[in-house]
Structure 1
Amino acid sequence: METVRSGVRIGIDVGGTFTDFVLSGAGGEMAFYKEPSTPDDPSRALIEGLGKLLDQTGMAPGDVSSLMHGTTIGLNAIIQRKGARIGLIVTSGYRDILEIARCRMPSSFDLHAAKEVPLVPRARIVEIAARLSPSGEVTIKADDAEIARVGGELAALDIDAAALVLINGYASPDHEAELARKISAAANGLQITSAASIWPEIREYERTLVACLNAYIQPLIRTYFERLGKGLQERGITAPILVTASNGGSLSIASAVERPVETILSGPASGVMAAVRLAQATGVHSIITFDMGGTSSDIAIASGGMPELATRTDIGGLPLVLPVVDVSAIGAGGGSIVWVDPHGVLKVGPQSAGARPGPVSYRQGGTESTVTDCYLTLGYIDPDGFLGGRMKLDGTAARDALAAVGAKIGIEGDAADRAARTAEGALSVTTAGMASALHKTLAERGLDPRGFALVPFGGAGPTHANLLAEEVGILHVVVPPAAGTFCALGAAGADFRRDFVRSLRRPLVGNAGLLFETFDALSRDGRAWLEAEGGVQLETRFERSLDMRYAGQAYELRVRLEPGIDDAGAVAEAFHREHERIYGFRDPDAVIELGTVRLAAVGVTPDLPTPRLAGGASVSPPKGKRLLFHRGGWVEASIYARSALAPGQSLEGPAIVEQEDTTVIVLPRWNAHVDEVGNLHLESAAR
């Protein structure tokens, strides 16, 4: 491979099964690499894979200008409840804040459903005599003796970190932050997260969870990046490391360690942002992203060049109120296990074989069939071409394991036929589950799948995309050139971004001046943060939004305020218009109440160069043929190398397009063509 020029960015996405790398050179050069993850120490796979990528491209460590890193360490720790041992400090009288929560049952239809176990048991919650009024005035002040008492109790708890939450703390974040520093000093330097400093928004329970989650994963994140930094230095790599965030942006390591809760969904968000940029470049206005990795599958919806952002999501059964790219889990991944329940019903997932031992075909000790074994048995993937031939798969072992599963559900025939029919049945179960979840997501928004293009990525996304599109009724699929490492590509191009909030909780009329003063204050905070991150030299922009409601409504609407809206009348009209769009009516005579003021500070990083396909022969012939099992029988499919396809070339299904990081399946009655930048467009004959 031609040596890549210096000044390159490398995007990294650490997943449960593979760690992905994308290298982007200043002249448009691109290189991609996948390394099996090492769950016991994620930094090991990252360092080893980065070294192999540099060797592959002929680069020296000093040629790397920046590393953009997405991680699921925090997310996995929360889901598996393997975070730090933490404590919680709360205003006197609120020790049961996590137990009481919102007084809601997990399920209205399941009287036996249990609540999530609180992150902090009651025995590790310490009360403090400190409180603020709703306007931020100190009503109960913690004196030195009280601070010393709290510090002493924390020191006796044998904890790694703690969180501090004062009632009405959101109204005066500086006061709560100063109290956190004093308590930390009294507790022998214990790291204490101030809830109001992390997220100064009204609602004590949700703000408490944000602070607790931050404290829960902070020691793990700090240790991980210390280990990673040391390992990179030993390899001679001194480039700065940026960490992608859940809102689709990026942070410095210092910010990520201080506020790790903002990185929980960094990997999925990076892929969505990369898909949005792809859609803008190809003129596709409405997309559904489909990220299928080794463990799970996620979707997101983007229209008009902007992804949907959610201000609330659930992480491991706990509500998170930070802005995140709105990604929904919809199904299984390539490592999801195929099994039979006690009633003889074929099931797929949610258990996953992961990276170790992995699918049966990996020959690493796995004994349970997975979705990847199904792909192999049906002819979707080449056992000798996985990861560009670096990892050989055992087709016979996969077939035998699936045949055994088929026997449990009464499928007859020889072992090969039984395995193929079982594998197709398992993929049908997987696809049906995905389609059901996707239909629900679209219906909630009043959207028609026929108006969207599906953008698949992840190692298994392009392999499964045509099956999902056909099931849902999507007529257009756009497969990026680096689909298998797409989240890493998104990380490489991430902008600096951080969200700032303040809760006002008052009528719009008479408070417009305060509203815009608050936006100005948040803008100053945003500029200061960008300067500290080193992004001040970049083009900057500020995105404003505001939560509002009619007086008496239980919930608020988040309204985006376009540039130029600078008076109460324009703000009111923006809310009326959004309310009418969502609910079908407006009430111009009702009092409008202000909720949370939101501002995103963005430092726009230079766009990644877009490599263009070289011109040449208009048609690249297939490199061979392979049988695919489809709808109960075998069909012959032409095999193409993705790297050999020329711009404008068309293919007819059934076809298989192979590349190092993934495989694209084109089903019968579907066609495909290649655009000038290498995207593969699959279109249904029914379109």
Structure 2
Amino acid sequence: MTTAVPLMARIGIDVGGTFTDLVAAVPERGLVVHHKEPSTPADPSRAVADGLAAILAQADLRPEEIGGITHGTTIGLNAIIQRRGARIALVVTEGYRDILEIGRSRMPSSFDLYAGKEEPLVPRDRIVEISARLGPGGAPVAEPDGPELDRVAARLRAIGADAAAVLILHGYTDPDFEEGVAAGLRERLPELPLMASATVWPEVREYERALVACLNAYIQPLMRDYFGRLESRVRARGVPAPIFISASNGGSMSLRSAAERPIETVLSGPAAGVAAAARLGMGAIVTFDMGGTSSDIAVTVNGSPELATHTTVGGLPLIVPVVAVSAIGAGGGSVVRVDDQGVLKVGPESVGAEPGPVAYGRGGDRPAVTDCYLATGLIDPATFLGGRMRLDADAAAKSLADLATRLGSADRPDPATDGAAEEAAHQVAAGALRVATAGMATELQKIMAQRGLDPRLFTLVPFGGAGPTHAAMLAEEVGITHIVVPPTAATFCALGAAGADLRRDFARSLRRRLDPTSAARLADVLGELSGQARAWLTEQSASAAGSSLSYSADMRYSGQAYELRVALDPGRFEVAAISEAFHAEHERLYGFRDQHAPIELGTARLGVVGPVAELPSAAVPPGTGRPAPHGRRQVLLDGAWHAADIHLRTALGVGDAFDGPAIVEQDDTTVVVPPGWSGDVDGAGNLHLHRKA
């Protein structure tokens, strides 16, 4: 078994709609270099290859000095959303042909009787029944013989599918049974990629498990094709390093594993940024990723990102573990508008990258949040993107002033009056930013309350192009007093990919009441999952040394409609320890425990993490303590104009400190420090903002 990836240069890649971000981290040199390459949507691997050549030159690296490349991609996610995946078929237990049509028998909206349901991923004419079934205890009820497998294989051949999935009722109780059925069909159809649902994810709930298997088959041919082109282009650049793919759980996996289980990579982009923030070592944090369309948050407690086991992708439920990221509001491109009642609104519609906000000068005529930043002085039209893209401040102001005529407030300045147009634009811009902030704060507080957490006890870590600009406004609204802005905030997801550890999650549903027998079964299942986890690490060419396992189980009081995910201590799987762990978590979230109610075990879960590499901190020289401002300009904050000092991020050194109001400009974002806040730089180059008492 080979050792983990050598401690050499690591490349992180995050492919976006407009730019492909690359970060090169060289631990031996203490070097972190970032680069933005225009994306090539027709073939994203071309931008990756071009960006790879550029960043190698920028970091003065030879191809053989790269120890590993980790790539985050949204190709699978986009294929699901746009419904442009493979032509797939589904094999199901006899009598369950309508499983995708029926789903959970729920209306898409309780308030809209005309709302249409999501189209099934597999049409009914491509679903084939088979005489195979397990009982709820795992005993076979019906087993397919040779002629039955021949019949099903002939039907699949006639369908002409690109890939197929197999779902046997109660297959999660004995994944080997379902895998045996799939193997029998593979023998008859060696050219057809075919995977059993219990092999992909052996968790209870047939509808959701069917979707996981179908989604995996749906994007697998597309992803395999892309991964093949990606590897070819990287090798053509002379880079022999292993290629990893970011996973939705915040970790990474080998190219081979990602090709076999692409469903585990569909939400890798946002997860990589959250994983990078967790490695800052700030304890309890809320990440705030504000891009062009929306703003996303995630919660990290005790240094580990919070995982969700249920999410939605393209309107379809997904039950594999993903970093719990929630959309909370507007992005830099969200449209500022006035509704029919004369009320100022922000979003949810976005102007996108083309034509973009009015200030971009690309033909856009609807003001966006970025135009508001410009009108209030928060960003400088001459230094946007390091001066590579000059913004049109006059056009932004005019578009905002035009909205004033449609506002319902009678005391707003009339832009038709001489000299009042500029004031009208300022008021509309400031009002729009307050509206956007209030919407974000409401969602953030709701999300934190659902988890039993107080945002005032957390540190806010903003990234994305607009995150550092809006962070202090959001923090003021929810009571957060500490903000940490990483050195390369706008390419933070690529940085997260560069340092992503190998990680995979395993699960097996039990569905039985907690007693000594079921506790012993839980210990056995977790032992089996541990063996699978170690075997997976070996497949990734990773050493077990330094790897870690985490154990948990979904549990509930008997009769409850929901389950709680409860962390378990390794080696303590007796009834008393498991019960106390569940009681304590239930009491933390809901304020009470029921010592006399029976407890039911749901799904046993295990996570494995294999460390890949430690990333170096940014090389930041010592500062003077009190840096001299680069300049000064007027900014509109909290309803008043302030003379704000302008600092360049590249000129700030370790130990430098300053008071707000201030603006910190860097080539990929702008940091706003309001009055009553102070800023200082730590030894890793992170900019800390503190609200004064």
Does residue 1:493 correspond to 2:499, yes or no?
Answer: yes
Segment drifting more, 160-169 vs 565-574:
565-574
2:623–2:655 Cα contact (<8 Å) kept: no
Residue correspondence of structure 1 range 314-463 to structure 2 within 5 A: 314-409=312-407, 412-413=414-415, 414-463=420-469
1:361 Cα deviation after fit: 3.4
Matched with 2:591 is: 584
C-alpha distance in structure 2 between counterparts of 1:78 and 1:598, whole Å: 26
Secondary structure of the structure 2 residue equivalent to 1:554: coil
Residue correspondence of structure 1 range 90-105 to structure 2 within 5 A: 90-105=92-107
2:246–2:252 Cα contact (<8 Å) kept: yes
Residue correspondence of structure 1 range 578-617 to structure 2 within 5 A: 578-611=585-618, 613-617=620-624
1:25 Cα deviation after fit: 0.6
2:7–2:613 Cα contact (<8 Å) kept: no
Matched with 2:3 is: none
2:40–2:46 Cα contact (<8 Å) kept: yes
Matched with 2:13 is: 12
Secondary structure of the structure 1 residue equivalent to 2:529: helix
Residue correspondence of structure 1 range 108-147 to structure 2 within 5 A: 108-147=110-149
Secondary structure of the structure 1 residue equivalent to 2:359: helix
Matched with 1:621 is: 628
C-alpha distance in structure 2 between counterparts of 1:307 and 1:596, whole Å: 20
Matched with 2:672 is: 665
Matched with 2:239 is: 237
Q: Which amino acid aligns with 1:69?
A: H
Q: 1:188 to 1:445 in 2, by over 3 A?
A: closer
Secondary structure of the structure 2 residue equivalent to 1:628: strand
1:188 Cα deviation after fit: 6.3
Matched with 2:524 is: 517
Residue from 460, 470, 480 that aligns with 1:464 = 470
C-alpha distance in structure 2 between counterparts of 1:42 and 1:427, whole Å: 34
Q: 1:409 to 1:588 in 2, by over 3 A?
A: closer
C-alpha distance in structure 2 between counterparts of 1:305 and 1:476, whole Å: 17
Secondary structure of the structure 2 residue equivalent to 1:150: helix
Segment drifting more, 375-384 vs 651-660:
375-384
C-alpha distance in structure 2 between counterparts of 1:174 and 1:431, whole Å: 52
C-alpha distance in structure 1 between counterparts of 2:355 and 2:200, whole Å: 39
Secondary structure of the structure 2 residue equivalent to 1:82: coil
C-alpha distance in structure 1 between counterparts of 2:24 and 2:161, whole Å: 40
Q: How does the TM-score come out when normalised to structure 2?
A: 0.92
Segment drifting more, 188-197 vs 239-248:
188-197
1:156 Cα deviation after fit: 3.3
1:297–1:333 Cα contact (<8 Å) kept: yes
Q: Which amino acid aligns with 2:334?
A: S
Alpha-carbon displacement from aligned partner over 1:371-424 (angstroms, at most 9, x marks no partner): 223323332223332332333333344344444444554773255444333333
Q: Which amino acid aligns with 1:652?
A: D
Secondary structure of the structure 2 residue equivalent to 1:501: strand
C-alpha distance in structure 2 between counterparts of 1:616 and 1:437, whole Å: 38
Q: 1:666 to 1:214 in 2, by over 3 A?
A: same
C-alpha distance in structure 1 between counterparts of 2:53 and 2:359, whole Å: 27
Q: 1:41 to 1:634 in 2, by over 3 A?
A: farther
Residue from 641, 650, 660 that aligns with 2:648 = 641
Segment drifting more, 191-200 vs 53-62:
53-62
C-alpha distance in structure 2 between counterparts of 1:21 and 1:401, whole Å: 35
2:554–2:603 Cα contact (<8 Å) kept: yes
Q: 1:259 to 1:591 in 2, by over 3 A?
A: same
2:622–2:655 Cα contact (<8 Å) kept: no
Alpha-carbon displacement from aligned partner over 1:533-587 (angstroms, at most 9, x marks no partner): 1112541111111122233333222211123414232222222222332333333
Secondary structure of the structure 1 residue equivalent to 2:547: strand
1:572–1:592 Cα contact (<8 Å) kept: yes
Residue from 272, 275, 285 that aligns with 2:274 = 272
Secondary structure of the structure 2 residue equivalent to 1:21: strand
Q: Which amino acid aligns with 1:238?
A: P
Q: 1:171 to 1:572 in 2, by over 3 A?
A: same
Residue from 58, 61, 67 that aligns with 2:60 = 58
Secondary structure of the structure 2 residue equivalent to 1:349: strand
Alpha-carbon displacement from aligned partner over 1:606-665 (angstroms, at most 9, x marks no partner): 321224532242222111122223345543221111121122222222211011221101
Residue from 506, 511, 525 that aligns with 1:505 = 511
Q: Which amino acid aligns with 2:128?
A: V
C-alpha distance in structure 1 between counterparts of 2:364 and 2:187, whole Å: 50
Q: Which amino acid aligns with 2:231?
A: G
Matched with 2:289 is: 291
Q: Which amino acid aligns with 1:7?
A: M
1:347 Cα deviation after fit: 3.3
Does residue 1:301 correspond to 2:299, yes or no?
Answer: yes
C-alpha distance in structure 2 between counterparts of 1:638 and 1:346, whole Å: 31
Q: 1:133 to 1:149 in 2, by over 3 A?
A: same
Q: Which amino acid aligns with 1:86?
A: I
1:360 Cα deviation after fit: 3.6
C-alpha distance in structure 2 between counterparts of 1:50 and 1:216, whole Å: 29
Secondary structure of the structure 2 residue equivalent to 1:117: coil
Matched with 2:44 is: 42
Q: Which amino acid aligns with 1:331?
A: G
Q: 1:95 to 1:76 in 2, by over 3 A?
A: same
Matched with 1:249 is: 251
Matched with 2:557 is: 550
Q: Which amino acid aligns with 1:439?
A: Q
5+ unaligned residues in a row in structure 2: which ranges?
A: 1-5
Q: Which amino acid aligns with 1:577?
A: A
1:307 Cα deviation after fit: 2.2
Alpha-carbon displacement from aligned partner over 1:346-366 (angstroms, at most 9, x marks no partner): 433333333344334344454
Secondary structure of the structure 2 residue equivalent to 1:668: coil
1:147 Cα deviation after fit: 2.6
C-alpha distance in structure 2 between counterparts of 1:556 and 1:340, whole Å: 43
1:528 Cα deviation after fit: 0.5
C-alpha distance in structure 2 between counterparts of 1:337 and 1:143, whole Å: 61
1:313 Cα deviation after fit: 1.6
Q: 1:153 to 1:393 in 2, by over 3 A?
A: farther
Q: 1:632 to 1:616 in 2, by over 3 A?
A: closer
Secondary structure of the structure 2 residue equivalent to 1:539: coil
C-alpha distance in structure 2 between counterparts of 1:57 and 1:554, whole Å: 55
Matched with 1:475 is: 481
Q: Which amino acid aligns with 1:604?
A: P
1:628–1:637 Cα contact (<8 Å) kept: yes
C-alpha distance in structure 1 between counterparts of 2:356 and 2:235, whole Å: 31
Q: 1:58 to 1:552 in 2, by over 3 A?
A: same
Q: Which amino acid aligns with 1:584?
A: G
Segment drifting more, 461-470 vs 39-48:
39-48
Q: How does the TM-score come out when normalised to structure 1?
A: 0.93
1:164 Cα deviation after fit: 1.6
Q: Which amino acid aligns with 1:650?
A: A
Matched with 1:217 is: 219
Does residue 1:150 correspond to 2:152, yes or no?
Answer: yes
C-alpha distance in structure 1 between counterparts of 2:85 and 2:303, whole Å: 36
1:434 Cα deviation after fit: 0.9
C-alpha distance in structure 2 between counterparts of 1:158 and 1:46, whole Å: 34
Matched with 1:74 is: 76
1:155–1:188 Cα contact (<8 Å) kept: no
Secondary structure of the structure 1 residue equivalent to 2:608: strand
2:382–2:391 Cα contact (<8 Å) kept: yes
2:248–2:264 Cα contact (<8 Å) kept: yes
Secondary structure of the structure 2 residue equivalent to 1:291: strand
Q: How large is the RMSD of aligned CA atoms in angstroms?
A: 2.4
2:274–2:496 Cα contact (<8 Å) kept: yes
1:195 Cα deviation after fit: 0.9
C-alpha distance in structure 1 between counterparts of 2:667 and 2:159, whole Å: 51
Residue from 185, 200, 211 that aligns with 1:183 = 185
